[in-house]
Amino acid sequence: MDGYTNTPAFVLNHTLDILATNSLADARYAPFTPADSHARMTFLDPAGRNFYARWERNAQAVVANLRQATGLDPDNPRLHALIGT
């Protein structure tokens, strides 16, 4: 990851949890505490609305990704914990 010195790089799992970052991604996500999940950062972190220039579009993408993840693995405990079902 640190080989990408000119661009933020991160790895997500299918539930949008951030698994790994390089130093530029850490700097980019500095407004979030913690920078742990794109879904949580979008909907629950106060920094989310100001961070994403097109928040509504980002929110739609997050929901679409979580719907796809649910379709692929409907019994995934992380998904259930994340969306509260």
Residue 15 has pLDDT above 60, yes or no: yes
Helix (H, G, I), strand (E, B) or coil at 67: helix
Sequence-ordered list of residues with C-beta below 8 angstroms from that of 51, at least 6 positions apart, any chain: 31, 32, 41
Entry pTM: 0.87
Please tell me the predicted confidence (pLDDT) of residue 83. 81
Each residue of 16-60: pLDDT tens digit? 999 999 999 999 999 999 999 999 999 999 999 999 999 999 999
